[in-house]
Amino acid sequence: MPGLEETAELCQRARELQRSFGQTLHIAAFHHDVSELELSARVSPWDERAPGHVLVELFDVTARHQLDRESALLAQRGVSQRMLRQLAHEIRNPLGGLRGAAQLLERELDDPSLHEFTRIIIGEADRLEGLVAGLLGPGGRPDRRLVNVHEVLEHIAKLTASAAPELTVLRDYDPSLPDLLLDRDQLTQAFLNLARNASQATADSGTLVLRTRIATNHVLNARRYRLVALIDVEDDGPGVIDEIADTIFYPLVTGRKDGSGIGLPLAQELVNRHDGLIEFTSQPGKTVFTVSLPVLSEAEIEANQAS
C-alpha cells in the first residue's frame, strides 16, 4: 500500500539515528470527494523508557492544501479579469479600422473571385468583435437555461474530432448527472478551449477522455454545495511544463510556439461566472483539467448573486 512503505522507512531512520523525521505522504482515499489523501507524517524516537519504539504522528493536510490552491486560483482570477478586459480594449480599437478597410477594398476590387478574401477578413473581424463584446459585456452575466452537459460534451467531441481526425475521443459519462442551469454558449467555449489544449498536447493524435461525475457535499470556492458536477477533460500528452504550471490561468501565458495564452484564462473566467472553478493535475501521460460546477436551482442562483 503506498504510504505504508515510506512510513516504515521513516521509522527505521528515526530508530537508527535517534532523531525525528518528517515527510509528506500521498495515499489512496476511500472518500467520494478526493481520490488521494495528503498526509504530513512525523516520526520521532520514543523516550528511553521504551527503546526501539517510535511515535508516528499523521496529520491530514488534504483540505488545507485544497483551500490554498483555491485561494491562489481566486487571486489569479482578479488579475486575470483585469488583463482580459485591457486586452479586449486593445483588440477592439484596431478591429473597426480593419473591417472598414476590408469593405473599402472590396468595393475597389473588380475581380469578384477576390471578394472571398475580403469576406474572410470581415467575417473574422466580426467573430473577434463578438468575442470582445462578450469579454467587455455588462459583467458578462450568463444567460442560464437548463442544459444537458453530455449534449454539450458530444458537440465538443464532434468539433475536436473533426479538427483532429487522428485523435481518439473516449467518453465516461455519469448518467445520474442532472441538467444544469448554464449559459450554453459560454460553457461550450470553455470546454472547447480545454479540449483543444488537450488535443494539441498530444499532437492531435493521442487520446482525449471526457468524463462526468457528481459529488455530494463538496466545497468549492470556500462554499459548501450539496451537489457539484465534476467534468474532466483528460489527455495522455506529456503534461503541463513546470515553468508555467503556477501561472497557466494568467492571460498571455503560453508554452506553445503559436499559442496566444488566452484559452485557459477565458475558460476560467466563463466557468467562474457560473460559480464554478477549473483546476488541473498533470504528469507525463495523464493531464486532467477538471471543471467543477455547483448544481443550483434558480432560487439558489438568485441568492448567490444577491450575496
Ligand X SMILES: Nc1ncnc2c1ncn2[C@@H]1O[C@H](COP(=O)(O)OP(=O)(O)OP(=O)(O)O)[C@@H](O)[C@H]1O
Question: What residues make contact with ligand X under the rule CB under 6 A?
Answer: 193, 197-198, 201, 235, 237, 239-241, 244, 248, 253-256, 259-264, 287
Residues in 5-24 that interact with Mg ion by CB under 5 A: none
- Segment contacting Mg ion (CB under 5 A): 13-21, 25-33, 189-197, 265-273? 189-197
Q: Does 197 bind Mg ion (CB under 5 A)?
A: yes
User: Beta strand 36-45 with 21-28: parallel, antiparallel or unpaired?
Assistant: antiparallel
CB of 169 to ligand X, least distance (A): 14
- Counting beta carbons within 10 angstroms of the beta carbon of residue 68, is it exposed (0 to 12), middle (13 to 18) or buried (19 or more)? exposed
Q: Does 265 bind Mg ion (CB under 5 A)?
A: no
- 226 touches which of Mg ion, ligand X, none (CB within 5 to 8 A by kind)? none
Residues in 133-152 that interact with Mg ion by CB under 5 A: none
2-10: Cβ within 8 A, 24+ apart:
2/26, 2/27, 2/28, 3/27, 3/39, 6/41, 7/41, 7/43, 7/56, 10/41, 10/43, 10/56
Nearer to ligand X, 9 or 90 (CB): 90
- 198 touches which of Mg ion, ligand X, none (CB within 5 to 8 A by kind)? ligand X
- 272 touches which of Mg ion, ligand X, none (CB within 5 to 8 A by kind)? none
Nearer to Mg ion, 118 or 188 (CB): 188
Q: Does 251 bind Mg ion (CB under 5 A)?
A: no
CA 23 vs CA 41, 57, 67, 232: distances in Å: 5, 11, 20, 30
Give the C-alpha separation, 222 to 71, whole Å. Answer: 8
Rg of the chain in Å (alpha carbons): 25
User: Beta strand 36-45 with 145-147: parallel, antiparallel or unpaired?
Assistant: unpaired
CB of 264 to ligand X, least distance (A): 3
Nearer to Mg ion, 45 or 263 (CB): 263
Count the neighbouring beta carbons within 10 Å of the beta carbon of residue 292. 23
The dihedrals phi and psi of 262, each to the nearest 5 degrees, come to: -110, -30
- 253 touches which of ligand X, Mg ion, none (CB within 5 to 8 A by kind)? ligand X
- Segment contacting Mg ion (CB under 5 A): 5-13, 127-135, 154-162, 259-267? 259-267
Nearer to Mg ion, 251 or 294 (CB): 251
Nearer to ligand X, 218 or 273 (CB): 273
Give the C-alpha separation, 3 to 117, whole Å. Answer: 62
CB of 68 to ligand X, least distance (A): 21
Tell me the residue nearest to Mg ion as measured from the CB: 263
- Counting beta carbons within 10 angstroms of the beta carbon of residue 249, is it exposed (0 to 12), middle (13 to 18) or buried (19 or more)? buried
- The footprint of Mg ion (CB under 5 A) covers 197, 263
